Amino acid sequence: MALWAAVLASGVYHGLNPGMGWPLAVAAGLTERDGRAVARTLAPLAVGHLLSITAVLLPFAALALVLDWSREIRIAAGIGIIAFAGLLLVYSRHPRWMSRIRPRQVALWSFAVALLHGAGLMLVPMLLGLCGPTSTAQAFGSPDLLGDTGLVVAIAAAHTGALVLAGGLLAFLTYRIVGLGMLSRSWFDLNRLWAGSLALAGALGLWSAL
């Protein structure tokens, strides 16, 4: 239950982070002067994020089948996540090709941003914990790739659902009450906070493995 709560909490955290795209939904609503445009933009944002999370988690789910090396895999994953967080601190700028994604390609933008920010990596310790020796699948028999793939989809769906609820609520409130003008005047850089939270997730995964 604690691991699933962490999956949902990370979804809320990602949803509230402007870097995951909810200001795009606000901009669409203000441009079209229609609140429904906010919802229409949230949908491809969610699809892109969901696909990115799933793509990152699937290889780790496959590795989790190697039970004899599960502890080593969790240690390596924790170290890798911390290293990626350090890379984000050093190279915080997005690649130039990101600027070539058209405004209408919201799903592709969401997929790329989640991938480059390591959003899926933040869920790896939760996934490996749920795939671990105490999981329900292993308690009643040998795990299989199909079962772990279903677990990945469930984690990605729960996480993305929490993201849409949190980010969507913030987008609608901003659209109805505040507007993007406030964001342009009071914007602050969340890159260091994001990298720090990613490093914390890796450290917790490493601690649990050790």
Query: What are the pLDDT digits (tens) for 113-125?
Result: 888 888 888 888 8
Measured between alpha carbons, how far is 191 from 164 in angstroms, rounded to an integer? Answer: 21
**Which range has the top average pLDDT, 30-39, 43-52, 78-87, 131-140?**
43-52
> Using one digit for the tens of pLDDT, what is the confidence trace for 149-205?
888 999 999 999 999 999 999 888 888 887 666 655 555 556 777 778 888 888 887
Tokens of 51: 């696909």
pLDDT over 80 (residue 68): no
pLDDT over 90 (residue 47): yes
Measured between alpha carbons, how far is 158 from 191 in angstroms, rounded to an integer? Answer: 24
Measured between alpha carbons, how far is 114 from 111 in angstroms, rounded to an integer? Answer: 5
How buried is residue 140: exposed, middle or buried, by Cβ count under 10 Å (0-12/13-18/19+)? Answer: exposed
pLDDT over 70 (residue 66): no
Rounded mean pLDDT of the chain? Answer: 79
Query: What pLDDT does residue 198 have?
Result: 80
pLDDT over 70 (residue 103): no
Tokens of 142: 């040998």
Taking the CA of residue 158 as centre, how many other CA atoms within 13 Å lie in the half-sphere pointing to its CB?
A: 17
Query: What pLDDT does residue 139 have?
Result: 42
Query: What pLDDT does residue 90 have?
Result: 77
Find, among 13, 193, 9, the residue nearest to 85 by Cα.
Answer: 193
E strands, the chain, are none
Query: What pLDDT does residue 65 have?
Result: 67
**Orientation of helix 145-173 relative to helix 35-63, angle to 10°:** 150
Going by pLDDT thresholds of 50, 70 and 90, the confidence category of residue 144 is low
Higher-pLDDT residue of 42, 191: 42
Q: What pTM was estimated for this model as a whole? A: 0.77
Query: What pLDDT does residue 20 have?
Result: 84
Q: What angle do CA 23, 26, 29 make, to 5 degrees?
A: 155
Query: What pLDDT does residue 138 have?
Result: 46
